[in-house]
Amino acid sequence: MEIFVFLLTALFSVLNPLGTVPMFVGLSQDFSKAERSKVALLTAINVLIILLISFFLGQYVLKFFGITISALRIAGGIIIASSGFSLLNGNFNKNRGISKKVEEEVHTRHHIALTPLAMPMLAGPGSISLLITFYNEHNSFNEILWSCLAIVVVSLLIFLILRSANYLAKILGSSGIVAISRIIGFITIAIGIQYIISAVLSIIRGI
């Protein structure tokens, strides 16, 4: 249960679906309610698939390229902490690879569920490296089961949040969303730094 709570909290902080609300509202403003619900569902499914692939197959990619888990922890920690700083500074879209050109082009097509929403706005390098590292440390049957449940639940939360994006935008307002994003950003920075500390301690113990 502790694994479930930790991974759910960590993934929610790194993915930050609340920070995606303004972009979702902007991109789907000409959609009907049914179309917005469909895009929210497809986005959540895409995120679920990306996260599960990263969780189960990421370790083999590391082995293929000869990357150690300590190196991944440090790289992932830097990326996660960087995402947190972006949330605190209000530059989240830029650090997620959403350029102005991409934002303009995406308005000309309806298939926004995969890009830019699912990737890179939600499932980015931070969440992928987090899952790869987590699998390396927690790979017993029960731990994998709880981890998969956490991934499914966070994907469900993404669907519910995006489906309610218009209501959340009205209730919270832009200032409310920014305030929540900055709180999440602080937690995200702490998660990233903890990963770096763990990697450094692991290297020192191995010397």
Q: Which residue has the tokens 């998660």?
A: 191
Handedness of CA 174, 17, 124, 87 (dihedral sign): positive
Spans of the chain below 50 pLDDT: 94-95, 102-103, 105-110
Per-residue confidence (pLDDT) for residue 93, from 0 to 100: 52
Joined tokens for residue 124: 């980015």
Per-residue confidence (pLDDT) for residue 189, from 0 to 100: 86
**Cα–Cα distance measured from residue 152 to residue 157, given in angstroms and rounded to the nearest whole number:** 9
Q: What is the pTM of this model?
A: 0.75
Per-residue confidence (pLDDT) for residue 202, from 0 to 100: 83
What are 184-207's pLDDT values in tens digits? 778 878 888 987 898 898 888 877
**Helix runs in the chain, H state only:** 2-15, 17-27, 33-65, 69-89, 92-95, 100-106, 125-137, 141-163, 165-206
